[in-house]
Amino acid sequence: MTGFQAAERRELVLRAAVRRGLLHPEDAVLAAFVDLDGVAASVAALHRAFPDPAAVTHTFAAKANCLVPVLERLRRLGMGCEVAGPGELAQALAAGFAPERIVLDSPAKTRPELRRALELGIAVNADSFQELDRIAAILTTLRTRSRIGVRVNPQVGVGSIAAMSTATATAKFGIALDDEGNAERLLHAFRQWPWLTWVHAHVGSQGCPLELIAEGIGKAAAFADRVNGELGRHRVEGLDLGGGLPVNFDDDRTSPGFDAYVACLRARVPALFDGGYRLVTEFGRALLAKNGFTAAYVEYTKTAGGRPIAITHAGAQVAARTVFLPDTWPLRISAHDPTGTARTGPPVPQDIAGPCCFAGDLIARARPLPLLAPGDLVALLDTGAYFFSTPYHYNSLPEPAVHGATVTADGTVRFELLRPAQRIEDLIVRP
């Protein structure tokens, strides 16, 4: 990456976007940007963190940003792809991922989904005993190159965000290891089906501390060790560690980093690094969140109850999590003048509202920012994952354009279109 700090890079991108008409107060009131240099740096950091790249397959969780050009770039950077449904699988294949570099995870795979994945040789992690039975039935008439695993729920507890914690006692994902009889029944499944050779666990993502994640992976690894101890060495060939590295949304620092994640695993589960297991990771938010932002024009300003309100074009349609769960998913916001230059001036508490037609469509409440005026721009930071890439179609608001950006050492910005803006006529579906 170039020597510019994150805030400087964003301003360079914003100013260049305004100059080139990618942001315009009449024709392009909302747009999103992916820092492609930042994506490359994040992927490189992930690869550096693991000591033996040959034994690790890093996959990107497509749910975090499923735009095909983004997936294609990640593939060129050496990533595989984790998908959780037929749509994401189609996007991964369109991005050029080889089937053996794709992992299919979902708690509700249909028979046609499973058959297609097994026909293509895509890795599959079964989520339940019933799904294992379904796979066994399919394999009576089908030969496959797929590596097949089973997701276990290590039941290690909840992080600070319950909805993001997938290893609680009653979580819907995986086979609950501590429930009576489940470990023995799963051991029998490994004994019964020689095609079952992997163990998968995912403790959660945002709000889950590294120690909790490592504890869950440790329990999954201990179960794999038990299988190998009772059924023979290498009966379980590999461990899918999931993803889940939490992201710092408070400032521009990337913390914790992948190196801290690996250090925690080394301390808690050293057997992961002795060469006995092949490994897979499935990071998503940690790779993309801080490498994207959303920019919107301020259309109007007003005052209500003595508090200034800026009505912008970024609301629930591109930041649904923040609007509906503001305490759990607060976003940083930066204020800019119509040229994209950072606004200066004393901070004034003001509401940053979106365009959706309901009262709760607020990106921030009483947020101290330089006082905004019509024609200004606001940037919603750290939205490279789960925000603009999967919009919420409230009020039939069209999807914004998404642009990839690179910045050279002299500050020149180059753009490439990752998703065109949806046109109004595209919203009109006729039989």
Last residue of a domain, one of 289, 315, 343: 289
- The answer to whether position 49 is within a domain reads yes
pLDDT at 234: 87
The answer on 110 and 186 residing in a single domain is: yes
Same structural domain, 298 and 325: yes
Torsions phi, psi for 227 (to 5 deg): -60, -50
Can you give the pLDDT of all 431 residues of the chain as single tens digits?
667 999 999 999 999 999 999 999 999 999 999 999 999 999 999 999 998 877 999 999 999 999 999 999 999 999 999 999 999 999 999 999 999 999 999 999 999 999 999 999 999 999 999 999 999 999 999 999 999 999 999 988 888 877 777 878 888 999 999 999 999 999 999 999 999 999 999 988 888 889 999 999 999 999 999 999 999 878 999 999 999 899 999 999 999 999 999 999 999 999 999 999 999 999 999 999 999 999 999 999 999 999 999 999 999 999 999 999 999 999 999 999 999 999 999 999 999 999 999 999 999 999 999 999 999 999 999 999 999 999 999 999 999 999 999 999 999 999 999 999 999 999 997 77
Q: Are residues 229 and 240 in the same domain?
A: yes
Q: Considering the domain boundaries, does residue 198 fall inside one? A: yes
pLDDT at 1: 67
Q: Are residues 380 and 420 in the same domain?
A: yes
Cα 91 to Cα 64, 68, 117, 220: the distances in Å are 13, 6, 14, 30
Q: What is the pLDDT of residue 272?
A: 93
Domain boundary among 289, 307, 331: 289
- Using N-to-C axis directions, what is the helix angle for 68-76 and 36-49, rounded to 10°? 40
CATH number for 257: 3.20.20.10
Q: How many structural domains compose the chain?
A: 2
Instruction: Note whether 119 and 258 are same-domain residues.
Output: yes
Residues 330 and 256 in one domain: no
Read off the CATH number of the domain in which 388 is found: 2.40.37.10
pLDDT at residue 189, rounded to an integer: 97
User: In terms of domains, do 56 and 196 share one?
Assistant: yes
CA 158, CA 169: separation in Å to the nearest integer? 9
pLDDT of residue 168: 84
Same domain, 31 and 70: no
Domain of residue 277, residue span: 37-289
Same domain, 81 and 153: yes
Q: From 233, 264, 289, give the residue that closes a domain.
A: 289
Residue 1 domain flag = no
Query: Which of these, 282, 268, 272, lies nearest to 238 by C-alpha position?
Result: 272
pTM of the model: 0.95
Residues 369, 346 contacting (CB under 8 angstroms): no
Residues 296 and 186 in one domain: no
User: Does 91 lie in the same domain as 199?
Assistant: yes
Q: Is the peptide bond before 246 cis (omega within 30 degrees of 0)?
A: no
Is the residue at 224 inside a domain?
yes
Q: Per-residue b/e over 40-74, b at no fewer than 16 CB within 10 Å? A: bebbeebeebbeeeeebbbbbbbbbbbbbbbbbbb
Instruction: Give domain status of residue 383, yes or no.
Output: yes
302 and 353 part of one domain: yes
Task: Give domain status of residue 348, yes or no.
Answer: yes
